[in-house]
Amino acid sequence: MSKVYYQRDKNFEPDFEQFLRVLRRDIPHRPTLFEFAMNDRILGKLSGEKNENKSSRLAPFRRLIKAFTNAGYDYTTISAWRTNTLDFPKGNMAEKESRSLNAGSMITDWESFEKYPWPDARAGDYELYNDLGKLLPDGMKLIASGNGGLLENVIDLAGFENISLMYMLDETLTTNIFNFVGERLLKFYEIVASIDTVGACIVNDDWGFKNQTMFPPEMLRRWVFPWHKKIVEVIHRAGKPAILHSCGQVKDVMKDVIVDMKYDGKHSFEDLIIPVEEAYDLWGKRIAIIGGIDMDFLARMPVKDIQRRSLAMLRKQLSRGGYLLGSGNSIPDYIPDENYFAMISAVKNI
Amino acid sequence: MSELLERLSMLVEVGKINKVTPYPPEMKDMDGASEITQQALERGIDPQIILNDGLMPGMSRIGEKFARGEAFIPNMLISAKAMNAAMDHLKPFFDGGEMPSKGTLIIGTVKGDLHDIGKNLVKMIMEGDGWSVIDLGTDVGGDKFVKSVNEHKEAIIGISALLTTTMLNMEEVITKLRENNSSTKIFVGGAAVSKSFSEKIGADGYFRDPYSFAQSFN
C-alpha cells in the first residue's frame, strides 16, 4: 500500500441519488462529479495501490472502486472491456498515440460479412456485475458502458472509408452490418441495465469530427439512431438513466438525441466545438450536461485557472442543476495529475 | 460540348460513378462519369479540356461544399471515386499515362499519429485539382519527409495531425526539413492545429479545410 494522494473527504459517503437528481435535471444536495475513464497512474494515486491486483476475478475492481470512492464519485464507471462481456473481434490495428479509423477492417463485402465471427451477446460474465456489489460501498452503484458503440464498432469492422462508400453503393449489406452490431449491443444493454448493482448506463458512440458529423445526419438517422433509440428504451424500461458519450460536432443532431432518442445526459464536450458553459445554456434545460472541462485546457492551463473554471461551472448549476463536474472526455496520462486534482477539488470550495 | 462537360462536372460532384452504381438513387440506370467521359472522347473533345472543364470543377465544387459544411466526407469519397472512374479513360491520352500536374505535394500524418482521414481528403482534393500527390502515409518522422523532398526538389509539403499531443511533433519535422532544404514550403493542418500554432512552429501556412488549401494555389 502506498500513499493516497487525494481524498474528497475522509467521511465522504457515496450517494447515487445525487447523481440521479442531476440526470433528472434537479439540483443535487451537494456538488456531484463525473468521470468516464481515468489513466492507471491516477487510479494508483487515488486508491493508494500502485498496481492492479489480478489475483482473483474481483481483485482488479477493488482498486478501481477505491479510487472512485476516494475521489468523491457516487459510482464507479465500468466498461465492457473490463468485464469481458461483449467484444467484436477486430483485425490488426497498429496503435501509437492514435489509430486510424480505416485500420483493421474485417468486413468489406458480403463474403467477409458472412465469415465474420459474430459474438454472442449473452455469453459474457454478467454475473460479475452482481458480484461487484460486494465491493461497492453503501450508496454507490456501477455505471456500465459498452466496448464501443454502434457506429464505432461498425467503423472498426468495416473501416471508415469503406463504410462511407458502402452505405451509398450497397444499402442491404450496410443494413445487415448495422443490424448485426445493433442487435448485440441492444442485448448487452438489456442485460446490464436489469442488474441491480448497475445504476445507470453510458452508451459510448463517437459521431463527429471537429466541424461536423462524420456522416450526413440522414445517414445517421437511417442506420445509427434507431438502434440508439431502442437501447435507451431498454435502459429506461429497467428504470435506469441513459447517458450518451459522443465526441465531435453533433449540434445538427442534438434534437434527435434529446427528443427522439430521449437520452437523459450528454457527455463529451470540446472548447473548439462548443465550450461546456455554452452547451449548458443551450441544451441544459432539456438534457443533463456532463463533464466538459476541456481536455486541452486541463492539459495545459495552470492549476488556478482550472480551479476557477471548475468552480464557476459548479456555481453556474446552483440555480437549476442538471450538471456534473468532470473532464470533457476522460483523464488520459498526458493530463498532469495536479490539474485533475485541481478540477475535482472544486467541490470542496463551493 | 459545354453541356456535356457541365454534365460531367455535375456527375463528379454528386458521385455518380457509372451506369450500374446505384448512387445517387434518383440517377439509377443513368450514365455516370465513366460513360460521359467516354462519350466526350468519342465526340473528339480534347482530354485536357475534359479534365480541366469537366472533372476538376466537379471535384472543386464538392470540396467547396465540404468547406461550407454542406457536404460530408462520404460525399467527397464518392466524388473522388467518380473522378477516378473518368480518369481511367483519359490516362492513355497523356504522356506515359501520367496526368499533367500543377506541382507535387508530399503529404503525411506526423510521427506518433495514425489518423489518416484528413490527410486522405487533402490528397483527394489536391489530386482533383491537378496536383501529383506523394502520400508518405501515417506516423511519418522528419527523416522520411527529408528523403522524399530530396527526391522531389520542387515539391511542397503538407503535414497532418489530429491530436494536441501529436501536433507537437510537427515542430521537430519542420526543424529537420529547414535544416535540409530551407526553401521548401511547409503547410500544416488537422483538427487540433491552428493558425497561431502553425506560425509558432515556423510553418508557411495553415488551412482549416482541403478546399481552401487547394484554392490558395489557384
Residue with cell 458521385: B15
Q: Tell me which residue range forms the domain holding B49.
A: 2-97
Specify the 3-state DSSP secondary structure of A243.
strand
Q: Count of domains in chain B?
A: 2
CA A77 to chain centre: 8
ipTM value greater than 0.90: no
Task: Give chain A's mean pLDDT.
Answer: 94
Query: To 10 degrees, what angle do helices A276-283 and A303-316 make?
Result: 10
Calculate mean pLDDT across residues A110-135.
95
pLDDT level of residue A163 (50, 70, 90 thresholds):
very high
Least trusted range by pLDDT, from A153-167, A273-287, B155-169: B155-169
CA separation, residue B155 to residues A23, A80, A274, B176, B186 (Å):
55, 48, 37, 16, 10
Distance in angstroms (rounded) separating the CA atoms of residues A79 and B137: 32
**Shortest Cα distance from B177 to chain A (angstroms)?**
23
pLDDT tens digits along A215-242: 999 999 999 999 999 999 999 999 999 9
**CA contacts within 13 A on the Cβ side of A263:** 28
Residues of B in contact with A216 (CB under 8 A): 72, 74-75
- Residues B109, B26, single domain; the answer is no
Q: Which residues of chain B lie closer than 8 angstroms to A213, CB-CB?
A: 72
* pLDDT > 90? residue B163: no
Last residue of a domain, one of B56, B71, B97: B97
Confidence of residue A1 (pLDDT cuts 50, 70, 90): low
Regarding whether B118 and B52 lie in a shared domain, the answer is no
Confidence grade of residue A90 (pLDDT, cut at 50, 70, 90): confident
Percent of chain A with pLDDT over 90: 87
Residue that is last in its domain, among B97, B120, B153: B97
| Class level of CATH domain A16-89+99-348 | alpha beta
Give the pLDDT confidence score for residue A98 in this predicted structure.
63
Asked whether the beta carbons of residue B114 and residue A96 sit closer than 8 angstroms, the reply is yes
Per-residue pLDDT, B168: 87
Beta strands in chain B (DSSP E): 104-109, 132-135, 156-160, 186-189, 205-206
- Same domain assignment for residues B138 and B176: yes
Name the nearest CA neighbour of A323 among A259, A250, A269. Answer: A269
Nearest to B72 among A97, A98, A212 (CB): A212
Residue B37 Cα to chain centre, angstroms: 20
Mean pLDDT estimate for chain B: 92
**Cell match 466538459: residue?**
A292
What residues of chain B lie within 8 A of the CB of A171, using their CB?
Answer: 22
- The grid coordinates of residue B86 equal 473518368
Q: DSSP readout, A121-138?
A: TTSS-THHHHHGGGTSPT
* A334 chain-B contacts, CB cut-off 8 A: 165
Reported as a pLDDT band with limits 50, 70 and 90, residue A251 is very high
Dig out the grid coordinates for B5 from the structure.
462537360
**3-state SS, residue A191:** helix
Residue A177: the pLDDT is 98
A3-18 mean pLDDT: 94
User: From start to end of chain A, where are the E strands?
Assistant: 75-79, 141-145, 198-204, 242-245, 265-267, 288-290, 323-324
Helices (H), B19-153: 33-42, 47-49, 56-67, 73-90, 117-128, 142-151
Under the banding of pLDDT at 50, 70 and 90, the label for residue A99 is: low
Which pLDDT tens digit goes with each residue over A291-333? 999 998 999 999 999 999 999 999 999 999 999 999 999 999 9
How far does B125 lie from chain A, in Å, by closest CA?
15
Dihedral (Cα; B79, A216, B216, B144), 10-degree rounding: -80
Query: Same domain, yes or no, for B52 and B6?
Result: yes
Boundary-marking domain end, from B79, B97, B115: B97
Q: Is the peptide bond before B24 cis (omega within 30 degrees of 0)?
A: yes
Asked if B111 contacts A98 with a C-beta cutoff of 8 angstroms, the reply is: no
Task: Report yes or no: A94 at the B interface, CB cutoff 8 Å.
Answer: yes
pLDDT digits (tens, 9 = 90+) for B125-142: 899 888 999 999 999 999
Radius of gyration of chain B (CA): 18
| Residue B12 pLDDT exceeds 80 | yes
For residues A226 and A186, the answer to whether their CB atoms sit within 8 Å is no
Same-domain pairing of B6 and B80: yes
Confidence of residue A210 (pLDDT cuts 50, 70, 90): confident
Q: What is the mean pLDDT of residues A99-124?
A: 89
In this structure, are B115 and B205 located in the same domain? yes
Question: Pick from A289, A290, A310, A280: which is nearest to A298 by CA?
Answer: A310
**How many angstroms separate the CA atoms of A303 and B207, rounded?**
32
Structural element, H or E, at residue A300 = helix A295-300
Separation in Å, CA of B191 to nearest CA in chain A: 6
The residues facing A79 across adjacent strands are: A145
What is the rounded average pLDDT of the residues A57-72?
Answer: 95
Range of lowest pLDDT (A48-62, A265-279, A293-307, B8-22): A48-62
pLDDT for residue A95: 63
Going by pLDDT thresholds of 50, 70 and 90, the confidence category of residue A94 is low
Tell whether the model's pLDDT for residue B1 goes beyond 70. Answer: no
pLDDT of residue B166: 86
- Kindly state the cell numbers that stand for B89: 479513360
Domain-wise residue ranges, chain A: 16-89+99-348
CA–CA separation, A142 and A140 (whole Å) = 7
Q: pLDDT category, B97, cuts 50, 70, 90? A: low
Q: Are residues B85 and B117 in the same domain?
A: no
Amino acid at A116: Y
Q: Residue A93: what pLDDT?
A: 67
- Spell out which residues of chain A touch residue B15, defining contact as CB-CB under 8 Å: 168
Residue A67 pLDDT > 70: yes
Residue of B nearest to A332 (CA): B165
Residues B50 and B73 in one domain: yes
Q: Could you tell me the sign of the dihedral formed by the alpha carbons of B189, B195, B196, B202, in that order?
A: positive
pLDDT of residue A186: 98
Residue type, B137: G
Chain B contact present for A299, CB below 8 A: yes
